[in-house]
Amino acid sequence: MLLEVYVVLVLNLSLFPLLGLSVPRSKRYVLNPERWPDCDLTWAFRDPFHLFDNDEDYRVAKKIVAQSIRTWEESAGGALTFTDVSPHNRQSPENLERKARIDVLFARYDHGDKESFDGRGGLVAHSGYPNDGIVHFDASENWTVSDEADPDVFVDLRYVALHEIGHALGLEHSAFPFAVMNPFYRQILF
C-alpha cells in the first residue's frame, strides 16, 4: 500500500508542470517541450501484427494499459481525460489503422517506425512524445503482470506501460531513483 501511495505521489509531482503548477522541491521529472494541443486524449490498444496467441492474453495486456492510463488520469486530478478508441477485438480490421493520439501495440524487430526492437533483452519498449504518441512493447520479451515472477527472467508490463505512457504524455526520464520516469526498470514499485 505504501509503495502504491508513493507511486501516485511521484506521478502527481510529474504532472505538476503539465497542469501549470510548480513543484516546491527538487526536480523529479523533465518535461519535453512537445505538447498535445489539448488535454482530451484518445488512446487505442491494437494488435496489427497479430502477435497475441489468444484473446485472453490480448485482454490482459489491454487491461494493464487501461490501468496505466487510468493512473495518469487520476494523478492529473481531472486535468487530463482519456477516451479508449481501441478496436472491438484483436481480429478486427480496425487493428490495421491508427485512430488514436496515443497508439499502443506490441511489435517485433523492424516494425515501421524509427527504432527497431532487438529481440529478448535490451530494449523492452519505446514511445514517442506528443504529437507522435506511439507506445510500443517488444513482443519478444518475457512479459508478466505477476508480483511473483522472477525479475531476472520477466519484465513487468505494469511498470513499463506506466513509464512509456508517461513519455507519450510529454515526460522525459527522471534522475530521481524511485520515479516512474527513471530510465531503469525497477520491480520494487509493485
In a domain, 130, yes or no: yes
In a domain, 14, yes or no: no
> Binding site membership: which residues?
111, 113, 118-119, 123, 126, 136, 138, 141, 163, 167, 173, 181
For 38, the domain range is: 34-171
Rounded to an integer, what distance in angstroms lies between the CA atom of residue 116 and that of residue 126? 9
> Looking at the predicted structure, is the pLDDT value of residue 31 above 50?
yes
Q: What total number of domains does the chain contain?
A: 1
The percent of the chain in helix, strand and coil, each rounded to the nearest 5, is 30, 15, 50
> Out of 4, 73, 94, 164, which one is annotated catalytic?
164
Going by their DSSP bridges, the two strands 30-31 and 171-172 should be labelled as: antiparallel
Residue 164 annotated to the active site: yes
> Binding site membership for Zn(2+): which residues?
111, 113, 126, 136, 163, 167, 173, 181
Q: Picking from 29-38, 40-49, 78-87, 130-139, which range would have the lowest pLDDT averaged per residue?
A: 29-38
In a domain, 26, yes or no: no
Rounded to an integer, what distance in angstroms lies between the CA atom of residue 112 and that of residue 34? 22
Q: What is the pLDDT of residue 178?
A: 81
- CATH code of 99's domain: 3.40.390.10
Per-residue pLDDT, averaged over 71-80, amounts to: 92
Q: What is the pLDDT of residue 139?
A: 95
> Binding site membership for Ca(2+): which residues?
118-119, 123, 138, 141
pTM of the complete model = 0.81
